[in-house]
A and B are shown apart, each in its own frame.
Chain A
Amino acid sequence: MQSLIVCPACDLVHRGDAENAPTDPGRLRCARCRAVLHGARGAHIDTAIALAISALVLFLLGNTYPLVEFHINGATRETSLLGAALGLYHAGHSALGLLVLLTTIAAPLAQILGLLYLLIPLRKNRRARRQSTVFRLIVQIRPWTFIEVFMLGAVVALVRLSAFAKVVPGIALACCGLLMMCLAALTSLTSPEQFWHWDARSRH
């Protein structure tokens, strides 16, 4: 039983040991449909915790400082990440505001906090309460984190506004850029295979 790998994309069964599979996911692909069979593995748990803490710091900075400043006729307006979501809400589009709130604030934050909640005890060979449920939710939330799209959207907004007035990118925009890279690295480091590999190892 342990020596079978089933392709998640076409259901083809492969003989092989998932635990000793290559650590680089690109090297283990389905023989029939070429889907990647295995998430990345081989990272150290401390690397993931360090990345999650950096992501949390960047997230907090990105939410406290203004994202963009806008100067016109001596007046200044600025907005933060949360302000962008609230702006839509005040404009009478609460569903859209909620969508922006969920994809740029709630999803990244839940992912970072959830991983820290699981990984810090796991590092000391302990298991957080409701570990499997929390990790399953993290994996479910992942595709709805849109920080990188938001970054590009901010660039588009800056270009459109710079035709009328002086626009200054804020500190938070730089933080969001770094957060985007941190989250991408964190997501690939904490693939389900990797997470359950750490879990299995801590039981020995």
Chain B
Amino acid sequence: MNSVVTGRNLGLLLCLRCHCAVRALKVAHPRCPRCYAHLHMRKPHSLAVTTVLLILAAILYIPANLLPVMYTRTLVEDERDTIMSGVLVLLQSGSWPIAVLVFIASIVVPLLKILALAIVLYSAWRPSARHRQQRSELYRLVEYIGRWSMLDIYAISLLVTLVQIQSFATIAVGWGAGAFGAVVVLTMAAAHTFDERLLWDEKK
């Protein structure tokens, strides 16, 4: 028997919505007495659901970066922009702080999220006592930065609305943007369905 006392050892269910600890082991479908949320010892099917969402996100990450997100049509030329070429356009127009920002938010963050979640998932499949602290912190980082990759989608939504037929150019949205939006939502959902406590559970 380990000297560490966990909620599981004591038969305590924790409500993740309001952080209320409940002793309800014999109840069939326990609910939080305070906020009425469903209670589980661990999030149900956490590993399986997170793995599926993460694999989908990793697959969609490829079209999100290769397909054009935006088509610009002017009188003189046609241009197709992927996320990376959008960054290069910003860089050439001289606004490098914005270019760096978009590069980090749209390319580094999604890749980092997918890799970090894969590491965290792997260590949850085979729990070990080493590096638990770092993995927990990695997971919290993913949860924190996840939303910032929506940046480009918002920029595109404004560009496509402002630049329309009557003016000198038109902008159309490419399927890269759709894939990109899906990557953001899928990685956020994967982070959400993962149960951090699985990193700390002792092996039976």
Contacts and interface: CB of A to CB of B under 8 A. Distances in A.
Interface of A: 1, 4-6, 8-13, 18, 32-35, 37-39, 67-68, 70, 72-73, 75, 77-79, 83-88, 91-93, 95-97, 99-100, 103-104, 132-133, 135-136, 139-140, 143, 146, 149-150, 152-157, 159-161, 163-164, 192-193, 195-196
B28 interface: no
Contacts of A1: 21, 23
Given A136-B36, A157-B158, A143 B148 contact: no
Contacts of B136: 9-10, 33-35
Given A156-B151, A159-B98, A192-B18, A99 B185 contact: yes
10 contacts: A6-B21, A11-B197, A13-B5, A77-B164, A85-B157, A86-B161, A87-B161, A99-B185, A140-B17, A156-B155
Interface in B21-72: 21, 23, 34-37
Contact of B101 (A32, A100, A156): A156
A163 B101 CA distance: 18
Contacts of A132: 34-36
Contacts of A160: 89-90, 93, 155, 159
A30 to B, nearest CB: 10
A77 B136 CA distance: 48
Interface string B1-16: 0001111111010101
Interface of B: 4-10, 12, 14, 16-21, 23, 34-37, 89-90, 93, 95, 98, 101-102, 105, 132-133, 136-137, 140, 147-148, 150-164, 166-169, 172-173, 177-178, 181, 185, 188, 192, 196-197, 199-201
A73 to B, nearest CB: 7
B162 A143 contact: no
Contacts of B102: 156
Given A12-B4, A161-B163, 9 more contacts: A12-B200, A72-B167, A79-B162, A132-B34, A136-B35, A146-B154, A153-B150, A163-B93, A196-B18
Contact of A88 (B4, B7, B157, B163): B157
A173 B19 CA distance: 36
Nearest to B146: A143
Contacts of A96: 153, 157, 173, 177-178, 181
Contact of B151 (A86, A91, A152): A152
A12 B5 CA distance: 6
Nearest to B137: A34
Q: What DSSP secondary structure best describes chain B's contact surface? A: helix
A143 B197 CA distance: 20
A83 B157 CA distance: 9
- By Cβ-Cβ distance, the 7 closest A-B pairs, closest first, are A153-B154, A87-B161, A10-B200, A157-B158, A192-B18, A156-B155, A11-B6
B16 A8 contact: yes
A133 B197 CA distance: 25
Contacts of B98: 155-156, 159
Contact of B167 (A77, A100, A154): A77
Contacts of A163: 93
Nearest to A151: B154
A97 B177 CA distance: 11
Nearest to A71: B167
B104 to A, nearest CB: 11
A159 B95 contact: yes
B153 A13 contact: no
Contact of B14 (A11, A133, A146, A159): A11
B133 A33 contact: yes
B151 A193 contact: no
B6 A12 contact: yes
A143 B192 contact: yes
Given A85-B157, A100-B157, A132-B35, A152 B181 contact: no
